[in-house]
Amino acid sequence: MSQIALITGVTSGIGEAAAELLVKNGYRVIITGRRKERLVAIGDKLKLQHNGRVHTLHFDVRDKSAVDEAILGLPEDMADIDILINNAGLASGFDPVQDGDAEDWDKMIDTNIKGLLYVTRRVVPGMIERKKGQIVNIGSIAGREVYPNGNVYCATKHAVDALTKSMRLDLLDKGIRVSQIAPGAVDTEFSVVRFHGDESRAEEVYKAYEPLHAADVAETILFAISRPPHVNINDIFVMPTAQASATAFHKDAEDTW
């Protein structure tokens, strides 16, 4: 029977692209997200277009009780999760630390770190019992280097990097693979959320060069999870050709790569 993958944060961007690609490739997929209407619409579309087994779970990863209730309530044929893709994450605000908004900080810490931990803690015991499984954490270039006004977001993605390495050690003798996919600039809703809905400001982030697209990251995820059981992809750091670091871009509308 095909493998079961649980993907968090499927209501847009990388999560949505990963769900579609995995369903197309025969995986049974559990999709999760906060925006119920959007989540259900994506689930219905995937079932209709690809005739795949898709199960929706509506919860916020920041709510530990909701995480536990949703995952423990999975139907029997979807309960033995083979692959966990911790994709849910966000940036909120873009201020120097002295001007930061504590609500933005809480949102990023609770989603990017605690949410990842809540979901992992609920899923991993089943993997240990079955002596197989894979965790894929979606990191970021912000987990490798910091940049002006990125302070707390960068800190949370550095934590994802550290947690990935720690999980690999903790689960080394359990038959569970642990991977991290860390992208550079990806054209998704990321910047709209970071700038609190200011779409014109968000558009500037991706102007005059071609960023990564959600599908590019989804293909990278598929590569990592489709290796033979004896192969673990520890870490993939994927960037647009036009990006050399968190702050170094070649921006020229006439160039296409």
Q: Which CATH number do you get for residue 161? A: 3.40.50.720
Query: Where in the chain does DSSP place strands (E)?
Result: 4-7, 28-33, 54-58, 83-86, 133-138, 176-183, 235-238
Mean pLDDT to the nearest integer, 219-227 = 98
Average pLDDT, the chain: 96
Examine residue 106 and state whether it is found in any structural domain, yes or no: yes
Q: Which pLDDT does position 255 carry in this prediction?
A: 61
Query: 249 in a domain, yes or no?
Result: no
Average pLDDT over residues 138-143: 98
Question: Whole domain around residue 207: which residue ranges?
Answer: 4-238
pLDDT at 105: 98
Average pLDDT over residues 50-72: 96
Asked whether the predicted pLDDT for residue 189 surpasses 60, the reply is: yes
Q: Is pLDDT above 60 for 257?
A: no
Active site residue 147: no
User: Is residue 52 very low, low, confident or very high in pLDDT (cuts 50, 70, 90)?
Assistant: confident
pLDDT of residue 142: 98
For residues 96 and 148, what is the distance between their CA atoms, to the nearest angstrom?
Answer: 7
- The answer to the question of residue 155 being in a domain is yes
Question: In the chain, how many domains are there?
Answer: 1
- The reported pLDDT for the residue numbered 252 is 84
Q: Establish if 91 belongs to a structural domain.
A: yes
Confidence of residue 14 (pLDDT cuts 50, 70, 90): very high
User: Three-state secondary structure along the chain?
Assistant: CCCEEEECCCCCHHHHHHHHHHHHCCCEEEEEECCHHHHHHHHHHHHHHHCCCEEEEECCCCCHHHHHHHHHCCCHHHCCCCEEEECCCCCCCCCCHHHCCHHHHHHHHHHHHHHHHHHHHHHHHHHHHHCCEEEEEECCHHHCCCCCCCHHHHHHHHHHHHHHHHHHHHCHHHCEEEEEEEECCECCCHHHHHCCCCHHHHHHHCCCCCCECHHHHHHHHHHHHCCCCCCCCCEEEECCCCECCCCCECCCCCCCC
Residue 253 binned pLDDT confidence (cut-offs 50, 70, 90):
low
In this prediction, residue 256 has a pLDDT band, given cuts at 50, 70 and 90, of low
Query: Is the confidence at residue 114, as pLDDT, over 80?
Result: yes
pLDDT at 158: 98
Nearest CA-CA partner of 189 in 31, 35, 80, 26? 35
- Mean of the pLDDT values across residues 188-203? 95
pLDDT for 7? 98
Q: What is the mean pLDDT of residues 228-247?
A: 97
Instruction: Examine residue 256 and state whether it is found in any structural domain, yes or no.
Output: no
Is residue 42 in some structural domain? yes
Q: Calculate mean pLDDT across residues 135-145.
A: 98
In which band, very low, low, confident or very high, does the pLDDT at 194 lie, cut at 50, 70 and 90?
Answer: very high
Q: For CA atoms 190, 191, 193, 197, give the dihedral sign.
A: negative
Quote the pTM value. 0.96
Active-site hit among 27, 118, 147, 153: 153
Model confidence at 1, pLDDT cuts 50, 70, 90, reads confident
